[in-house]
Structure 1
C-alpha cells in the first residue's frame, strides 16, 4: 500500500504510515495484554520499543553528515529501509533472549498474535488514509481482516495450527500485494515474510524442546 498522504500534527508533517504503525502498535499491545496477560504484553512492548528506537536512531548510520550538521534531524527522520530491518532484527533478538529463558509456546504464540494484529490494523488504516482502487481496498481489508479473525479464534487451539498460520500469513500478504501498487517486493511484504519465518522457526523449536521434556 503506497504511502501518499501527509497529516499535520502540530507543526510537523507526519506520513500516514507512521500514524498507522503507531495506532497498530497500541491496539496490538492491548490485544496481547487482554488475551495473554502482563508478561507477554511486556515482552511485546519491549520488542516494539527496541524496533522504534533502532529505526529512528539508525539515521545516524544512514545519514551521518545530515545528523552532524543538524542533530535535531533525528526527530524528523529515521533510518529508512535499512533502519527498518535493523529494528526488526533487534526486536527479534529481544524475543529470542526471552525464548532462551524457558519461554512457553503459549506465550510465544501470544507474541505472534501481536505481530499479526499490527499488520492487520496497519493495512486497514493505510487503506483508510490512502484510498486506492475499490477492488484493491476490498481485497486488502477483506483478506487481512479475515486472516486476523482466523488467527484470533484458532491460534491457541493447537501448536501445529500456530505454525501453519505463520506460513498462511505470508501467503495472504503476498496474494494481497499482487493487487497493490508496490507489488510483492514492497517492504511490508518482505517484513511479513521475515517475521513469519522467524515465528515459524521459533515455534517449531519450542514445540520440539517441550516435547522432549
Structure 2
C-alpha cells in the first residue's frame, strides 16, 4: 500500500482514491444528467466511515478503554468493513429510499461511476499502469453507453448493469483473486444496487 504525506499525516492511497472517486462520480453525474446527486450519496459515505471507524471499539474494546485516543489512528479493520457494508445496505434499502425517491434512478449510474472510477484512481496512485488502463477502458465504455442511453431517454437495464459488474469482477480476478475483499465489496455493493433497481421496477 502506497502512502502520501500531507503535512504530518500519512494518507493511504486507498482513502485518497475513495475521496477523489466520490467527488469525481458526483461531478460526472451532474455533467451527464444536469442534476445534483441526492443527499443519500454523501450520507452513505459518512455513515460507512463512522461505522467502520467506531467498530474499532467493538472489536478492540480493551485497547480502546486503555487508550481512548487510539480510535483516532485505528479502525475496525476487515470485520469493521463488513459491519459498515451491512449497515450501509440497511440504510440504503430501508431508510434512504423513503427520503430520497431519486435513489432508484441514481444508484446504478453512481455505483458504476464511483466504483470503476475508484479502481482507475487507486491503481494510478499505486502506479499499476496496465491495471489502471484496463479499468479506464471499461470506465470510458460505460460513459459512452450512459451518454447514448441518455440521448435516447433510456435507462441502464438490469442485464446491462450485471454485465458491467461481471466485467469489473473479471478484471479484478485477473490481476488479483475473485476471493479478495475488493471483489467481495464490489459484489456486496452491486447486489444492494440490484435490489434497489428491482424495487424501482416495482414502484413504476
Alignment TM-score > 0.5, same fold:
yes
CA distance in 2, matches of 1:193, 1:203: 15
Partner of 2:177: 183
SS in 1 for 2:26: helix
Is 1:22 the equivalent of 2:19? yes
- Asked whether the 8 Å contact 1:177–1:183 carries over to 2, the reply is yes
Q: Kindly tell me: are residues 32 and 140 of structure 1, through their superposed partners in 2, closer, same or farther at Cα, counting changes over 3 Å?
A: closer
SS in 1 for 2:101: coil
Q: Normalising by the residue count of structure 1, what TM-score does the alignment of the two structures yield?
A: 0.81
The structure 2 residue matched to 1:99, chosen from 91, 97, 117, is 97
- Asked whether the 8 Å contact 1:32–1:41 carries over to 2, the reply is no
Is 1:117 the equivalent of 2:113? yes
Count of equivalent residues: 201
Partner of 1:147: 142
Please state how far the C-alpha of 1:78 moved relative to its aligned partner.
1.6
Question: 1:1-213 maps to which residues of 2 (within 5 A)?
Answer: 4-32=1-29, 35=33, 37-38=35-36, 40-96=37-93, 97-100=95-98, 103=101, 107-132=103-128, 134-151=129-146, 153-154=148-149, 157-159=153-155, 161-180=156-175, 182-210=176-204
Q: Provide the aligned C-alpha RMSD in A.
A: 2.5
SS in 1 for 2:200: helix
Please state how far the C-alpha of 1:198 moved relative to its aligned partner.
1.5
- Structure 2: 5+ residue stretches without partners: none
- Asked whether the 8 Å contact 2:119–2:132 carries over to 1, the reply is no
- Asked whether the 8 Å contact 2:108–2:197 carries over to 1, the reply is no
